[in-house]
Every structure is written in structure tokens, then in C-alpha cells.
Structure 1
Amino acid sequence: MRILSLLLLTIFLGKSCEGQNKQDLESAVIEYTANTRGFYQKITVQNQMVTISKDRSGQDKAVATKIASEDWEELVNCFKKMELDSLPKLKAPTEKRFYDGAAIANFKITFQDKTYETTSFDHGFPPKEIKKFVNKINSFAKQNDEN
């Protein structure tokens, strides 16, 4: 009987934590910016919506688009694995941005009234710890360009 109770409690707690992670990502604001002298892109993800802006001055009206459920699930899974406190310590794998070989990218998450931000890295070459997450976010901008 004790084993059965322990098993049910474990399952219950596991399910509630899974739901909490979805809620956590919904309450987070994720910002990815990439820019050079002639290029600017800002992708904001918040509450299952993505907003893409290509205007550095903020004059254009960026339209928010709903993120598909399967894409949202993938983001939630990546977010679960991410260690937010380690973001400022991540090392960029390349240094093309130093000689205009790549746009300068920045990644920032605002979560529970705290901001976690990476150091600059090359657009298209994020640190391996956040690569899957950043590439997924960038895929939304590519989809937007195709439409």
C-alpha cells in the first residue's frame, strides 16, 4: 500500500511540475536581437506569441503571430533544460562579429522579475547550450520572411 501511495504521489508531482514549466515559459519574455550597420532584427517571444521587427527605430508596427502548438512544445522543452543563471557565462563559439563577418546577436530572458542575458555572439552561431532554443526562435523569422 505504501509503494502504491508513493507511486501515485510521484506521478502527481511529476505532472504538476510539467504544467508549471509551461506556465513558466508563458510568463517569460524572450528577446533575441541581431544587428550590423545595415541589418536589424528583433524577435520577441511571449505567451505563445512571436513578434518580429526589422526596424531599428521601432517605428514599424510589428505584428504578433501565434506560435503553433508543436513549436511551442519544443520551446517549452528547451526552456526546461536551460540554466538561466549560466546565460551570462556562456562563451560564443565564433568571433566573426569582430570583423563584420556576422551580425552581433544578443539573447535575453526576463523571468520572474529577473533578467538573464548572454554576452554578444555571432548571429547564426549561438553558444551550444542555447543553440536549439535560439535556432527555433530564428526559424520564426525565416517563416515570416517567406510569407
Structure 2
Amino acid sequence: MKIFSLLLLTIFIGSGCSSQKKTDMSGTQIEYSATSRGYYKKVVVENQTASVVNARNEEAVTIKIDEAKWKKIVAEFEKINLDSISTLKGPTEKRFYDGAAIGNLKVIQNQKTYETNGFDNGFPPKKIEKLVNLLVDFMKE
């Protein structure tokens, strides 16, 4: 009986801890920008809102993110190892000859900034591709 009680308690405590593994996004800011000589787009996602700038010297447009899309963003964000994003390499190098705008992903979490090296807009590194594509969707709206 003691073993059964101990086993049940262990399972209960373990399942309680696993629910706390959800990423707290309240203090997290995710920014994606794409720039070249004649092109500028930027989206900043924070607290279920997206601020989108579609041109230099333009005011940001704020968009409320619906619950379903927010869950997708959080799910993709949880898959990323922030400490390693600065080492990610894009699959193409069109930006070197003006064939693509320079894309950049920046995450600010707990007063610490994580940033990728530049990559071709439209061709992000595989490990962040789904998150970047979710952010780029706001630029199209």
C-alpha cells in the first residue's frame, strides 16, 4: 500500500511539473525584419499583438493575434534553442548580390537578446523556418 501511495504521489507531482514547462511569453519580444536598399519590413510580436511596419518612415500598425495563431507561434518558439540561433546559417546566399533582402530574427527574453546572423528573406534557416513564416504572414495582412 505504501508503494502504491508513493507511486501515485510521484506521478501526481511529475504531471504537475510538466504543465509548468509551458513557455512564459509575457516578457518575450520576437522581432523579424527584412531589409535591402529599397525594401523594409519589420514585425514585432509581443503579448498576443503584432506591430507591423511595411516601409521606412512609416508608422507601425498593431494587429491583435487570435488565440489559434498565438498557440502556433508559442509552439514553434518553444522548439527553438535561443542560445544557438546566432550560429544558424541560411540555405541560400542571394543577399550577397542583391538577390534577396536580408532577413534577421531577434528575440528579447528576460532582458537578454538573442539574434541570428543575416539570412535571405524568404529562405530562413530550417530550425527557425516555421516561426519566421508565421511572422512573415503578418506582413502580408
Normalising by the residue count of structure 2, what TM-score does the alignment of the two structures yield? Answer: 0.93
Aligned to 1:83: 81
Tell me by how many angstroms 1:35 deviates. 1.2
Amino acid at match of 1:50: A
Tell me by how many angstroms 1:61 deviates. 2.2
- Give distance in 2, aligned partners of 1:37 and 1:61: 19
Aligned length: 137
Q: Is the 8 A contact 2:54 2:139 kept in 1?
A: no
Aligned to 1:135: 133
Q: In the TM superposition, what whole-angstrom CA distance separates every residue of 1:97-140 from its partner, at most 9, and x where no partner exists?
A: 11111111111001111100000000000000100100111112
Q: In the TM superposition, what whole-angstrom CA distance separates every residue of 1:33-88 from its partner, at most 9, and x where no partner exists?
A: 1011111101110111001102323xx32121111111110111111111000011
The ranges of structure 1 where at least 4 consecutive aligned residues each deviate by more than 3 angstroms after the TM superposition are: none
- Give distance in 1, aligned partners of 2:46 and 2:37: 27
Q: Is the 8 A contact 2:43 2:135 kept in 1?
A: yes
Gaps of 5+ in 2: none
Taking the TM superposition and a 5 Å limit, the aligned residue runs for 1:1-147 are 1-18=5-22, 21=23, 23=24, 25-57=25-57, 60-142=58-140, 144=141
Amino acid at match of 1:15: S
Amino acid at match of 2:56: R
Gaps of 5+ in 1: none
SS state at 1:129 partner: helix
Tell me by how many angstroms 1:12 deviates. 0.7
Identity percentage of aligned residues: 42
